[in-house]
């Protein structure tokens, strides 16, 4: 057990570690960014970074490392730098809006909060 998980019961660490290792490729395929947290994964930072590098190589996904708003190490997928990542996110946001307008019959409105971003027409 690593020093970062000493206060968490071993059975919880083992369970979360197994969930992450078994499910991660499926969940990472749909993720744009993924932050490291030692308590949730039961891995050291080096182990996690090697895991992400192996995943990216196997799935042929571009990525770069950075920090999220909480100053946690984070991997950003489908881009090689922040400028490219911002462009990818902007294009994906436009595609999401088109999907909701065309497929769901919903129109984007100025959100009062994040939950009511789309409304039925």
pLDDT, tens digit (0-9, with 9 covering 90-100), for 6-56: 566 777 777 666 666 655 577 778 788 888 877 766 678 998 899 889 989
Tokens 């949730």 belong to residue: 40
- Whole-model pTM? 0.61
pLDDT, tens digit (0-9, with 9 covering 90-100), for 62-93: 999 999 888 889 999 988 888 888 888 888 77
Please, which pLDDT band fits residue 3 given cuts at 50, 70 and 90?
Answer: very low
Q: Where in the chain are the domains? A: 1-80, 81-121
Read off φ and ψ for residue 23, nearest 5 degrees: -100, -15
What letter does residue 61 receive in the DSSP assignment? -
């Amino acid at each position: 057990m690593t020093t970062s998980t000493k206060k968490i019961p071993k059975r919880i660490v083992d369970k979360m570690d197994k969930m992450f290792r078994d499910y991660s490729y499926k969940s990472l395929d749909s993720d744009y960014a993924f932050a490291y947290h030692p308590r949730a994964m039961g891995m050291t930072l080096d182990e996690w970074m090697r895991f992400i590098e192996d995943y990216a190589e196997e799935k042929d996904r571009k990525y770069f490392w950075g920090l999220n708003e909480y100053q946690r190490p984070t991997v950003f997928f489908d881009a090689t730098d922040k400028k490219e990542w911002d462009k990818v996110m902007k294009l994906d946001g436009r595609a999401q809006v088109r999907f909701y307008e065309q497929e769901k019959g919903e129109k984007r409105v100025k959100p009062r909060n994040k939950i009511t971003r789309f409304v039925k027409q």
